[in-house]
Every structure is written in structure tokens, then in C-alpha cells.
Amino acid sequence: MNQQAPLSIDSLDTWLNYWSHVHVTGIDLGLERVIPVAEKLGVTQPNAKVFTVAGTNGKGSTTTTLAAILNAQGYKVGLYQSPHIYRFNERVKLGGVEVDDQSLIDAFVQVDQARRDCDLSLSFFEATTLAAFVIFKQQQCDVWVLEVGLGGRLDVVNVIDPDIAVITNIGLDHTDWLGDTIEKIAFEKAGIIRPYIPVIFAGEQPLPQAIQDKAQSSQADLYTVNRDYFYKLAEDGQNWYFASEGTTLKLPLGTLAIENIAGAVAAILNSGLEISQSALEKGIQSARLAGRFEQRQVDGKTVIFDAGHNPHGVEFLLKQLRNFLEYNKQYTEVVAVFSMLADKDIKSVVDLLKPTVLHWKIAELNVPRAAPIQQLNDALQGQTVQQYGNIKEAFKSALEQTNNNQLILACGSFHTLEAIWEYLEECQ
């Protein structure tokens, strides 16, 4: 194992590059290497209330809502999420604000020293997650809100014992790592459950047996949507109702998916933390998440950015899109700026979008796992398609060619959105 003195690195980009190369693989599930380093750093038993959120889709919206409500109540909240879309700093927030480069650099120095002391290597994801924990500990956060990266049982986030576990929707994604059935994947997600804690299952699907079994064996209190708590849109289209035993709340609609907001509310109400009605309302309305049905005006055109990259995520997107079109009847056509990674279920995603999208503008992503243009074209056979040299050109064309009755939908991958945001940043 490499034992030279810790590197003297004073730029965040250099540190991120370092972590990308210090371990043999980018993804290495298992906690054997991580736990000794986490213990050396003293982050495994935080003096804080910990919410851990796992699931296939909806984790980002749920963690964002949790943090926004808790911030509104006045708690000092550390929020950890992944992946980022534009800046790495998006992954680590204190009080709703991205941490600065220097805080991350200082944390990386500590993580690197600890892993060397333990004579261990760490993957990029492991090192960067531990850095977030170091920052939350140093800042003495009251609450840690943690989003699981991949799976749950063997993910580095699981070195921390949560006080409340939330499991969102479960779909077939990352099957090479997590298994090829819903039950196998649910077993991995259920790994975040601990004895005697509240567990929220927020998925709009039958409760997987693996989650029920883990909750029972852990004597954890399991709360399931449509059984233990309920939500329903109000007739005015501006509010919704949350109901559970002894509780009925009328709350405002936010910009994020209502089922994820409801899951977050259920988690908070079962956490034992003091939360006011006004904090719930303020948090829901202020919660924003880049790339989750994010609406922006660009050059006078309405653009919706959504990072859904699997069938489950796209079903989620379409549910929100139909609701949006119902209340914004001036939009009669949807133009998609679209690309995906080669290892995703492109055909299923495209088949879901075909009835809604009139015209497709496609390009290869500039990343190693990008789907070749031919793979995208094959999936889009029979559709009206224009292809471009890169996503920036495709998006620029969409802005120039769409009419006022056309809505632009940028989707298919986080990398698709990242390329567009880079373009928009360059244009400022």
C-alpha cells in the first residue's frame, strides 16, 4: 500500500482527480475498508439525529425536502447527496448552502491521512462521502440527512446508524451490482434499517417482502404509504393533504414530486423532532433540486430539466409533465433534447416518452459510458429525429427552432443536463 506522506494539494479539482485514481475501481461495494477509516476519523457515531434515505428514484427529492423543512425549523442541518450535476460542492450542504472548496480540501486532508494510517485505499465515492461526514462533525450539525449512493447495505453511507430510515420507490437499476429482481434490490435497500427505529416505505408499489422481513427482524416500526399514511391533492390544485393516525395536515404544493414530499413529512413526524406547521409549509415551498422536473426560462422558452435515466424515473417525470401540461394548456407539443448512457435501458425509456414527445434532438454524451449515436437512433426508429455533434448544439437548436406552443424537455441522464448547464454558464 502507498505510504508516502499525504499529498500537499491546495485545489479541489486536484483532490477530486486524486481520489479518482487512488483506488483500482470506481465502484467497490462493501464496508470492510471504509469502517476502519471512518472509525479513525471519529464519524461513525454522530452526536446528531440521522435520516438515511435509500431507493432507486426519489432519494434526491426526499433528502432535499427533509433538509429544507429542518432548516426552516432552525436546526443546523448537514445534507449529503449524490451525484452532483454542475459542481462537486452540490453534494455537501450546510444550512442549505453548498460548502466552500476550502472546507472540502481540509476534510480530504483528514480522510487521506486516516486511510494512510489504516493502510487502506478508498474509492472516489467512499473518500468523498467520508469527507462530508468530517465536515458535519466539525460543524456540530444537529441533524444529518444522508442520501445513499448505490443500494444501501454495502454503501459507504451505511457506516452511520440512522435514527430514521426512508426507502423510496424501488425499480430495476444497477442490476449488475444489486441484483436483477425487485426483491433482490429491496434486500440491498433494506440494509439501512436498524433495530427499533422508524422506517418509512414511501414507494408507490406493493411493499417488498425483503423490507417487511428486515423491519420485523429488527423490531423496527414500519410506516408504509397508503397503509399508515396517505396523501391527496386538494381540489384547488395548489395544496395537498397529508393524513396519518391522529394527524391531518393541509400543506402547499412544492416543485418536487408529491410522493417524495409526503415521504419526507412522514419521516419528520415520526422522528421525535419538534416541527411546526409553518416550518413544514416553508420547507416544502423552498425545496429545490437541480434536474428534478426543474423549470427554467431560457431565451423566452420554457425548459424542463429532468435527470430521470431509467424507466421508473421517467414514469415519475411523465406523471409530473402531464400535471404541468394540464395547468399550462398553451403548450401543445414537447421537443426533447435527449441522450443517455449505453448501459441504461434506452429502449424502455424511449418507449415511455414516445407518446408525449413530438420531436427529438439527440447527440452523444462526452463521457466514457455514452450511448453511441447509432444506439440512440435505433431506439428512436420511426420518430422525428435530428442528430447533432454534441448536446450543446442540440440544445441551442431547440432554443432557436421551437415555437411558443412547444415545451423543451432536456432529459435522459445527469450528463445531458450537465452539458446544457455548461452551455448556459458560457452564455452568461
DSSP state string for 159-177: GSPPSEEEE-B--S-SHHH
Classified as helix, coil or strand, 243 is strand
In this prediction, residue 5 carries a pLDDT of: 41
Classified as helix, coil or strand, 408 is strand
Residues of the chain with CATH 3.90.190.20: 292-425
Counting other chains too, the contacts that 294-302 makes at CB distance below 8 Å and 24 or more residues apart are: 294/255, 295/255, 295/324, 298/399, 298/408, 298/424, 299/399, 301/398, 301/399, 301/402, 301/408, 302/331, 302/407, 302/408
pLDDT tens per residue across span 72-124? 999 999 999 988 877 899 999 999 999 999 999 999 999 999 999 999 999 99
- Going by their DSSP bridges, the two strands 333-338 and 406-411 should be labelled as parallel
Residues of the chain with CATH 3.40.1190.10: 10-284
In this prediction, residue 87 carries a pLDDT of: 85
> Full-prediction pTM beyond 0.85?
no
In this prediction, residue 3 carries a pLDDT of: 42
In this prediction, residue 323 carries a pLDDT of: 83
Torsion over CA: 372, 377, 378, 379 (sign) = positive
Classified as helix, coil or strand, 5 is coil
**CATH 3.40.50.720, domain 292-425, yes or no:** no
CATH number at 10-284: 3.40.1190.10
How many alpha carbons fall within 13 Å on the CB side of residue 185? 20
Closest by Cα among 266, 222, 220, 275 to 244: 266
In this prediction, residue 80 carries a pLDDT of: 98
In this prediction, residue 238 carries a pLDDT of: 85
How many alpha carbons fall within 13 Å on the CB side of residue 295? 11
Chunked mean pLDDT (size 10), the chain, 428 residues: 54 91 60 93 97 92 97 98 87 97 96 95 93 98 93 86 95 56 88 97 91 97 97 88 95 90 98 97 93 89 91 87 88 96 93 96 93 96 95 96 94 92 86
Strand partners, 222: 199
